[in-house]
Structure 1
Amino acid sequence: MRITVISGGPAGAPFVRGLADHLAASPGADEVTVVANTGDDISLGGLRLSPDVDGLLAALSDAPVAAPDTSVVTDELGALGVLPAWFPVADREIATHLARTAWLGRGATPSEVTARLAERNGLPAKGVRLLPMSDVPVETHVVLDDEEGQSAVHVQQWRHELGRPAATRFVVAGMDRAAAAPGVLDAVREADLVVLAPGDPVLSIGIVLGVPGVRDALRGTSAKIVGVTPDLTDLGPSLAAVGLDPTPAAVSGLYRDLRATWLPADASPADVLTHA
């Protein structure tokens, strides 16, 4: 079975790992393609970070962590004013960020960079292909009301430093120039099953679906589309900004044009596969 998963946010990575483990334990030669949100990407301290891609790489990797999660390097970079204290970066993640930044600087595309990192982390051996949603840099910003009118901050700063205050709207810089990364649209069109992993429907999954062509591909695919309702505990601020309450009905309503079957937040990968 050819399975395509659209993933974004911290909840997507463990879900995809669970799906990969479940498929590995059952007979068959299933193919899994994961399309990752890159609207959370950010440049900090001269490094290019892709949090959702990196979360998936870490979740799917079987590489042992050689040392406890330390922050000696990042603490020193923070003290020198290079990295902001509000964005969590562990020392073990620095190599990935350095490699990505170096490869991009030499002309590699995000798709090529992601493929190299996926190979290093053993994803192809698991039958998993990881794709960024686009090779065009896209960054989500949050517009806030303040004493001087309005200001915009990166979505990561909004979450980690400001604590997600009420937002006026969201602006996705670069989306007007974006195109789906190589393989993304074919992965949707040719799938037997498309899974919308649990994630923020506005700021994670919604950003992927905002890439030109992706939503049209979902509308036109003959694949079964199954969505997993995200944990709504922390989604109030993002849903409120688009005029919605944090309810399963509101979430599924954002995808009403996709003919998706919706499962509750506690649905397992096995539950998803029963609806294929």
Structure 2
Amino acid sequence: MRWLITGAAGMLGRELSARLQAAGAEVVALTRADLDLLDEPAVRRTVAACAPDVVANCAAWTAVDDAETAEEAALAINGRAVAVLAEICAARGIPLVQPSTDYVFPGTATAPYPEDAPTAPLNAYGRTKLAGERAVLAAGAGYVVRTAWLYGAHGPSFVRTMVRLSRERETLTVVDDQRGQPTWTGDLAERIIALVDSGAPFGVHHATNSGETTWYGLAREVFALLGEDPDRVRPTTSENFPRPAARPAYSVLAQDPARAPGLPPMRHWRKALHAAWPELIAAWS
């Protein structure tokens, strides 16, 4: 199969490209410099020229706080550009994989959100990603893959920040009232490939590592893996760390196995972090 990957310089784009190439797939990996998704004629020419079997759109506006004051710019890439790509893929019969986010939910639940739970984003970033989701679903173009709390060897992440701060500060305070699912890009990339290969029906699919924790719990695990004292990490509340964009207090995603028969739940977030650790440390050293 030939995969066209946009946003190939990003954390997920790089991981997905590497995993596909290792599996022997043909990959056309395009960075923003190669293809500006806001240039509709260029997008149409590129898809026609590449003639891919699958398109994975890993390009996105991911600066959550910045989107609060630049929602139109975020919407252009997370919403309108996705709508164009979805229309092109639907017309050509090419499955589109569109990563999305747990931030499409309000965070008021007390149990994991199923794929069909009502959406109600708290912030501009979530609204723009939801616009992209709706465009893909309206076009019947492919898979909306919601994930959460991503980290990987490439690009910024909370895990990478904790590694850096462990060297710079004696103690850290980290919020303990936001619950979610840390997810390794390596596992997410493998799930995306398996989802496409499975021939599962188009629609919304949740793809996160299993279990749940808080940012505080994740920070303590990072310190333990570093051989540092986890008690150097102190808990606090979101109220003490005001941000421009509101965050959902609870954004754990449920995974309905009936949506992708044969694909078991992704492994526990702690097991994934331990498996990823040698690669992460090697990349960040």
- TM-score bracket, normalised by the shorter chain, equals 0.3 to 0.5
More helix by percentage = 2
